[in-house]
Amino acid sequence: MSRRSGRITLQARDSNTPEPTVRVPLKKRKSEPSKKKLQPAAKKQSYEIQKCWSEDGATPCILIETPHKELEPADPSSFKQYTFKNLFIKASPIPRLSWASSDDVWIKMLNKELKYVHDKSYLQRHPKLQPKMRAILLDWLLEVSEVYSLHRQTAYLAQDYFDRFMLTQQNVNKDYLQLIGITSLFIASKIEEIYPPKIYEFAYVTDGACDMWDIQRTELHILKALDWNLCPETPISWLKLYAQVEAQKDDENFLVPQFSQETYIQITQLLDLCMMDINSLDYSYSILAAAAFCHFSTFDVVHKVSGLTWDSVAPCVRWMSPFMDTLRSEPTPELKTFTRVKADDRHNIQTHVAYLELLRKAQERHIHSHDSQMSPVAVSPLLTPPSSTEKPANP
């Protein structure tokens, strides 16, 4: 179909022909109520903090339902809802803030975990697609992000838009994946970047596969499908929070990074590799970030900065172990220098390595470890043990 076929064309009109006028009669308002009753809007569960004082002076917080806070509900037939196993959590790990309530910031982040959901089952809606196609696309998006010096948050927003958009569609052909991916990155750059690349630059990197008109048309399609919900908490935003809380000292600006940039880029490389595997969508973003952080620290630290229990993090830590083993055999990533990027912001710029080859090695390790666990003589590798307070009591 030609691109011009969908455009409205102006037709010549005879000046002597009078314009038809349509008068709509005014109707008086009826006093009796309308027969159609308005249905109450569906409400989505939201949470707020309620402090409970205990005898030892601690101030744990409880997540309680607040039906007066309304959010747009997700389609229950398409989206998988995540629920908290225990409603009793520790107080917000975020320190006291001068510009906002740390409890409000923490609960707002937790509420986004309920609102922005993802599910790897969307591949069942697209019989022509394979998990490897998603990995190839994300690998290319990471490469484009490094070329244009885009932030890590921008790349992860694009990944989130792509996965959630595909969850709303059916029977998408693989020929459209590149267009959907580059459009998702285009939207994410306008959300996150101060000076996002122009639309013709995104069209240029596709090497003629997509033009500006295609990206504009797909942008509107994605925005409508996502209902303009474009601000999730990505694994990168959770990881940055965990790292900052762990490195935070007294009387320091919480917005100024205090953590080690070298350690941070190592954790982000693990997250990059894991997110390319579609099985990562089995876990919430906060769990993924906590599991990655756990591989570079102890669980006691992870519990302190996230409030998560070992039972909730352990499955993701075990699933992530083959990816971590693969990266251990590779050179340690180093901070790269980017034009017009300050030295203290280099860790926030998305980088790219041979992720597809690393993913292949990690998936082979995962299959091998799964076969070893099925063997009766195999001994499972020892993971970082939980603290004594988190270990279950022996029967």
Question: Residue 219 contacts by C-beta under 8 Å, 6 or more apart in sequence?
Answer: 183, 186, 187
What is the distance in angstroms between the CA of the first residue and the CA of the last residue of the chain?
Answer: 69
Question: Residue 130 contacts by C-beta under 8 Å, 6 or more apart in sequence?
Answer: 123
Cα separation, 267 vs 293, whole angstroms: 7
Q: For residue 233, how far is the Cα from the chain centroid? A: 6
* More reliable by pLDDT, 131 or 13: 131
Per-residue tokens: 212? 């500006």
Tell me: the pLDDT tens digits for 104-148?
A: 889 999 899 889 989 998 999 999 999 999 999 999 999 999 999
Banded model confidence at residue 86, pLDDT cuts 50, 70, 90: very low
Q: 350 and 146 in contact (C-beta within 8 Å)? A: yes
Instruction: Show the DSSP H helices in 279-394 as ranges.
Output: 285-294, 299-306, 310-328, 355-374
The mean per-residue pLDDT over the stretch 300-312 comes to 92
Q: 273 and 355 in contact (C-beta within 8 Å)? A: yes
The mean per-residue pLDDT over the stretch 150-172 comes to 96
The mean per-residue pLDDT over the stretch 200-224 comes to 95
With pLDDT > 90 as the criterion, what percentage of the chain qualifies? 56
The mean per-residue pLDDT over the stretch 261-271 comes to 95
- Residue keyed to tokens 């000046």: 15
What the chain holds in terms of domains, given with CATH numbers, is 47-119+232-373 (1.10.472.10), 125-225 (1.10.472.10)
The mean per-residue pLDDT over the stretch 233-251 comes to 89
Of 179, 173, 129, give the one whose Cα is nearest residue 158. 179
Q: Which residues are 381's β-sheet partners?
A: none
* More reliable by pLDDT, 111 or 42: 111
State the DSSP code for 292.
H
Banded model confidence at residue 8, pLDDT cuts 50, 70, 90: very low
Residue 98 has a pLDDT of 77
Q: What is the CA radius of gyration of the chain?
A: 25
Residue 339 has a pLDDT of 87
Residue 314 has a pLDDT of 95
- Residue keyed to tokens 């006093």: 31
What does pLDDT average to over the chain? 79
- β-pair type (88-89, 47-51): unpaired
With pLDDT > 70 as the criterion, what percentage of the chain qualifies? 70
The mean per-residue pLDDT over the stretch 161-188 comes to 95
Q: 92 and 61 in contact (C-beta within 8 Å)? A: yes
pTM (2 d.p.): 0.73
Q: 244 and 257 in contact (C-beta within 8 Å)? A: yes
* More reliable by pLDDT, 28 or 334: 334
Residue 145 has a pLDDT of 97
Q: Indicate the angle between helix axes 212-225 and 152-166, nearest 10 degrees.
A: 70
- Residue keyed to tokens 């990816």: 323
Compute the 3-state secondary structure of the chain and give helix, strand, coil in percent, each to the nearest 5.
50, 5, 50
Tell me: the pLDDT tens digits for 53-81?
A: 344 444 444 444 444 344 444 454 444 44
Banded model confidence at residue 196, pLDDT cuts 50, 70, 90: very high
CA dihedral 318, 320, 321, 327 (to 10 degrees): -170
Tell me: the pLDDT tens digits for 338-365?
A: 988 999 899 999 999 999 999 999 999 8
The mean per-residue pLDDT over the stretch 147-170 comes to 96
For the cut 80, the answer to whether the pLDDT of residue 285 exceeds it is yes
Residue 49 has a pLDDT of 44
381: Cα within 13 Å, side-chain hemisphere: 15
Banded model confidence at residue 24, pLDDT cuts 50, 70, 90: very low
